[in-house]
Amino acid sequence: MSALRIGVDVGGTKIAAGLVDTDGRVLARTRRETPAQHADQVRDAVTDAVRELRAGREVAAVGVAAAGFVDAARSTVMFAPNLAWRDEPLREELEARTGLPVVVENDANAAAWAEARFGAGRGVRHVLALTVGTGLGGGAVQDGRVLRGESGAAAEVGHVIMVPGGRPCPCGLYGCLERYASGTALVRRAREVAEQAPVLAHDLLDRAGGRAEAIEGPMVTAAARAGDVAALEVLDEVGAWLGRGVAQLAAVLDPGVVVIGGGVAAAGDLLLGPLRTAYTTHLTGRGHRPTARVVLAELGTDAGLVGAADLAAAPVTTPVTAPLTQEATP
């Protein structure tokens, strides 16, 4: 059987696909825009990407990382907030179109698996991975297996309630962690601070042409690196919320390493510094238990497609277990 698999990461704006080998290396790539409002067109785009990468090659299987709730059978996308998928039988559809075995996985789960197998969490059996992007995605690898839960919807960390009755969330609840710790939260807070304290945010406002409403996430990181007080304050605030959330998750999952990825992670230690401080401050039993390392992700935007491709290695009825060791690698 061929050692090559195709991984497809389906997001709200783009579809990234790659030909992946057993060592997690991406040998070829392609990309499509996501026709997010049309379920059939998304299927067409995924199928087209697979056909392009498969041409002239022997491919064993396809793994799809989907930004949504995926059932425990790794088959149906039950709900995708940024796509027109509702109870979408994606595995069945794609297998019929491609003639290849297909595995469907939540995108954050796939990214967590990739980091556990090939990235910043390799060598650790209990890995918690957070993707800090537009929202806050999460995945957990427990004892070398992806934590899926009864229905496949485990590790939706962005929707842990941190502030009862707090900011409204698109999920329909209030006070979810991602309303305080995500790219969206970062931008919203940066715009608020720039409007309230323009003198402190002078560098940040310069980058946005003097308009607070034009501030975007990369501007905040760049301004913070240049010493802008307001930008530093906002990153500190978002990092602190993340740290509180990680402490709550650690009380349940007890990870050996916490991997932070996504666009906001580009801020590096400007984000991880306050995150680590808040995490250790709010961790239950601190001082009497090991503290997980908090590190940056290593695979970047490839994590979802690499993880999906690797998870496609096993039949959908078989739990995939990583050949990991108990000891962390340096």
The predicted-structure confidence for 233-263, as pLDDT tens digits, reads as follows: 999 999 999 999 999 999 999 999 999 999 8
The predicted-structure confidence for 76-123, as pLDDT tens digits, reads as follows: 999 887 778 899 999 999 999 999 999 999 999 999 999 999 999 999
Residue 326 has pLDDT above 50, yes or no: no
Q: What is the mean pLDDT of residues 20-28?
A: 96
**DSSP characters over 29-94:** EEEEE--TT-HHHHHHHHHHHHHHHHTTS---EEEEEESSEE-TTS--EEE-TTSS-EEE-HHHHH
Band (135; pLDDT cuts 50, 70, 90): confident
Q: What is the mean pLDDT of residues 4-26?
A: 94
The predicted-structure confidence for 174-226, as pLDDT tens digits, reads as follows: 999 999 999 999 999 999 999 999 999 999 999 999 999 999 999 999 999 99
- Domains of the chain, first to last: 5-113+302-311 (3.30.420.40), 122-297 (3.30.420.40)
Verdict on whether the full-model pTM lies above 0.85: yes
Q: With residue 28 as reference, give the H or E element that holds it.
A: strand 26-33
| pLDDT mean across residues, the chain | 91
Q: Give pLDDT, residue 177.
A: 97
Q: Give pLDDT, residue 328.
A: 36
SS3 108: helix
Strands 102-106 and 136-142: unpaired
Q: With residue 180 as reference, give the H or E element that holds it.
A: none
DSSP 284: T
Contact 149, 323 (CB under 8 A): no
